[in-house]
Structure 1
Amino acid sequence: MFEALTPVGEMLTRNFDPLCRQKLLICGQLEDSLPRMLAEQGPAPAVFTTDFRYFQWLQQHGYPEAEFGHRPRQRLVEALLLLMPKAKAEAEYLLAACLPLLAPGARIFIAGDNKGGVKAAPKLLAPYCDQVNKLDSARRASLYQAELSRPAPAFQPADWVRRYPLTEEGLQICSLPGVFSAEHLDSGSRLLLDTVTSLHGRVLDFGCGAGVIGASLLKRHPGLELELIDINALALEASRLTLAENRLHAKVYASDGLAQVTGKFNHIVTNPPFHAGLKTFYHTTETLLTQAADYLRPGGSLILVANAFLPYPELIERNFGHCETLAATGKFKIYRATR
């Protein structure tokens, strides 16, 4: 899945010498086998990832230096490589979380796609470094290098939490950088919540993001046995914070699609992922539509919102035998299928 090097990874292979001189911590948009290649050239880099799928892939390949979570644990590292994430705010968060692990004078590298925000590296590093240099540019990707000029402030996770009200539901939503619905309720989720009026029993919020859908459903139906899953550690932490802020209780955990889910549900409700990094990405949703019936109790339903142009009804009909459109706007449609 992650074996082939990305263009950013290919560009970084030209820079193994500066990257391999010290114990390196890698974080950000990890999408290939770069850590394993670096381990063949020098000390095995530590990897901090918020992507559960990537973490699992490293574990399956016996990579011992991988960590999954919303913040890195304390460890001895001598340099940092940030692979530029899609959201600039997430890059700021990752730098704030990881740089306190480094001593002044340590090297900091930022690499990424030229269209993916990497040109912001000098501004991102300005609070920490007096000078930032462009080390390389190739394969439409760039690498920047700097030295930590002063001790980075201790990381305070609470400083990165953003809140906004969901007035209609009487909820306060908490979010973290890079999480879907980070600053406001998206119109697709609003349509879904306006459409779904009656749920019962065990419910799965698939791709929970900041926990907007799950918390709203639980507020309306306090008796639900709710589970929230996502592949992103920042989304999972945001969902936990949203639930705690509103004194709601549910099970929140990482799952690669439905792989870590057990048992069957009365309802699976989702505003499924549509983008991964800079790319349009349908695989997770298509896999969900293929497998969902196996995770539903008899009479159980799959309810999802999707962009109206996506060909999901055909896939739903193929696996459920039918697909009902509950609501539609010019941009979104709400689909339901019952086992």
Structure 2
Amino acid sequence: MSTTSFHHAVYGLPPAELTDSPDGAVQVSPLIPGSPRIEDVESASLERVDVLAPAGTIERRYVLAQALRALRPGGRLTALAPKDRGGSRLAKELAGFGAPASESARRHHRICLVERPETVANLDAALEEGGPRHIDNLALCTQAGIFSYDRLDPGSALLLSLLPPLSGSGADFGCGLGILARSVLHSPKVTALTLIDIDRRAVEMATRNVGDPRATIRWADIRAGNLGLSRLDFVVMNPPFHDGGSEDQALGQGFIARAAEALRPGGTLWLTANMHLPYEKPLNAAFKTVEVKAASGGYKVFEARK
């Protein structure tokens, strides 16, 4: 879709009872595969933007700055978030951009309405801080909002310490920045690796970080299925277990089911997870053998064979 062919945009999935987004509003969230990039929307071209603001400060300020950049003067911004997930800061942050808001509270959310002034301030600093960048401690390209964007998370670190050299064709479900994939591709016996993530930003950063002709990187929702993967030799993953800030164990269970569908008989799943997550039952239901390879520091690693 051309970024100049619409006038109303929505970022994320604001609760329908808290906003009145028009039916023609175009989704621009990086977490909804297929959506156009808000970064590509022409400046001062939109009549209206509705934003469910992210919880992370750097990411939230970046999204608010992008929305204000894309709005025409006089255009309307509705920004909302749960009070305890950044909502209490929205009005102050918008004022810092020179865009004072009228604020209301409803259903544990703070809702800010802004009529975009002729001039706004401090957008460039927020856009630079929240945009793609190289981070030295990971030696990778990253962006605020991606899972564990500024550090190696302990679950992945534990899996990396145990992962043997793999071979054949495989997949990295929920690839993030590509940290697991880079390790997998160190093995010359790996012939192909498909990286999949629901976050467009992760896909873009993994594309930069994983410079290997054996890698294919896709923007898709693994839970939805229809991945076109079959008879894989292996799958590696550190599945998410939060959706919109709330724990959702069904996410990891869905990843396990998709992995079982994609693997050949005898194929192997390597999975890392927080200790409290009850993945043993779905693993045992979908795989012939399941072994806990490590349990340390609040995390566990499974090797499951189809």
Equivalent residue for 1:219? 186
**Residues 109 and 159 (structure 1 numbering): CA distance in 2 closer, same or farther, change over 3 Å?**
closer
Structure 1: how far apart are the matches of 2:73 and 2:214? Answer: 42
RMSD between superposed Cα atoms in Å: 2.9
Equivalent residue for 2:30? 50
Equivalent residue for 1:334? 301
Equivalent residue for 1:164? 135
Letter in 2 for 1:276: D
Equivalent residue for 1:96? 65
**Residues 145 and 291 (structure 1 numbering): CA distance in 2 closer, same or farther, change over 3 Å?**
closer
Letter in 2 for 1:46: V
Q: Taking structure 1 as the reference length, what is the TM-score of the superposition? A: 0.77
**Residues 280 and 250 (structure 1 numbering): CA distance in 2 closer, same or farther, change over 3 Å?**
same
Structure 1: how far apart are the matches of 2:73 and 2:229? Answer: 50
For residue 236 of structure 1, report the CA deviation from its aligned partner. 1.4
Q: Does 1:296 align with 2:263?
A: yes
Q: Could you tell which deviates more after superposition, 264-273 or 111-120?
A: 111-120
For residue 318 of structure 1, report the CA deviation from its aligned partner. 1.3
Aligned length: 295
Q: Taking structure 2 as the reference length, what is the TM-score of the superposition? A: 0.84
In structure 2, which of residues 65, 85, 90 is the aligned counterpart of residue 116 of structure 1? Answer: 85
**Residues 129 and 241 (structure 1 numbering): CA distance in 2 closer, same or farther, change over 3 Å?**
same
Equivalent residue for 2:3? none
User: Are the aligned partners of 1:68 and 1:233 in contact in 2 as well (CA < 8 Å)?
Assistant: no
Which ranges of 4 or more aligned residues in structure 1 deviate by more than 3 Å? 31-38, 68-76, 151-159, 219-224
Once the two structures are superposed, residues 30-70 of structure 1 have per-residue CA deviations (whole angstroms, 9 ceiling, x without a partner) of: 16557996436xxx3232122236x6xxxxxxxxxxx3447
Structure 1: how far apart are the matches of 2:106 and 2:159? Answer: 44
Once the two structures are superposed, residues 117-164 of structure 1 have per-residue CA deviations (whole angstroms, 9 ceiling, x without a partner) of: 111112322343252321x21211121122333157679779722333
User: Are the aligned partners of 2:14 and 2:52 in contact in 1 as well (CA < 8 Å)?
Assistant: no
**Residues 159 and 180 (structure 1 numbering): CA distance in 2 closer, same or farther, change over 3 Å?**
closer
**Residues 205 and 307 (structure 1 numbering): CA distance in 2 closer, same or farther, change over 3 Å?**
same
Letter in 2 for 1:113: P
Equivalent residue for 1:7? none
**Residues 179 and 222 (structure 1 numbering): CA distance in 2 closer, same or farther, change over 3 Å?**
farther
User: Are the aligned partners of 1:274 and 1:282 in contact in 2 as well (CA < 8 Å)?
Assistant: yes
Structure 2: how far apart are the matches of 1:331 and 1:221? Answer: 32
For residue 109 of structure 1, report the CA deviation from its aligned partner. 2.0
Equivalent residue for 1:319? 286
Structure 2: how far apart are the matches of 1:270 and 1:296? Answer: 13
In structure 2, which of residues 169, 189, 196 is the aligned counterpart of residue 202 of structure 1? Answer: 169
Superposed, which structure 2 residues align to 1:75-86 within 5 Å?
A: 76-86=45-55
Q: Does 1:73 align with 2:41?
A: yes
Superposed, which structure 2 residues align to 1:261-280 within 5 Å?
A: 261-264=227-230, 265-280=232-247
For residue 242 of structure 1, report the CA deviation from its aligned partner. 1.8
**Residues 144 and 209 (structure 1 numbering): CA distance in 2 closer, same or farther, change over 3 Å?**
same
**Residues 291 and 226 (structure 1 numbering): CA distance in 2 closer, same or farther, change over 3 Å?**
closer
Letter in 2 for 1:307: N
**Residues 70 and 262 (structure 1 numbering): CA distance in 2 closer, same or farther, change over 3 Å?**
farther
Structure 2: how far apart are the matches of 1:77 and 1:71? Answer: 13
Unaligned stretches of 5+ residues in structure 2: 1-5
Identity of aligned residues (%): 27
Structure 1: how far apart are the matches of 2:78 and 2:22? Answer: 17
For residue 283 of structure 1, report the CA deviation from its aligned partner. 1.6
Once the two structures are superposed, residues 228-274 of structure 1 have per-residue CA deviations (whole angstroms, 9 ceiling, x without a partner) of: 10111122122122225xx6762111222162421321110001001
Superposed, which structure 2 residues align to 1:244-263 within 5 Å?
A: 244=211, 250-257=215-222, 259-263=225-229
Q: Could you tell which deviates more after superposition, 145-154 or 186-195?
A: 145-154
Equivalent residue for 1:17? none
Superposed, which structure 2 residues align to 1:158-197 within 5 Å?
A: 160-165=131-136, 172-197=139-164
Letter in 2 for 1:235: A
For residue 224 of structure 1, report the CA deviation from its aligned partner. 3.8
User: Are the aligned partners of 2:172 and 2:196 in contact in 1 as well (CA < 8 Å)?
Assistant: yes
**Residues 283 and 93 (structure 1 numbering): CA distance in 2 closer, same or farther, change over 3 Å?**
same
User: Are the aligned partners of 1:206 and 1:272 in contact in 2 as well (CA < 8 Å)?
Assistant: yes
User: Are the aligned partners of 1:70 and 1:234 in contact in 2 as well (CA < 8 Å)?
Assistant: no
Unaligned stretches of 5+ residues in structure 1: 1-21, 56-66
The secondary structure found in structure 2 opposite 1:336 is: strand
Letter in 2 for 1:204: A
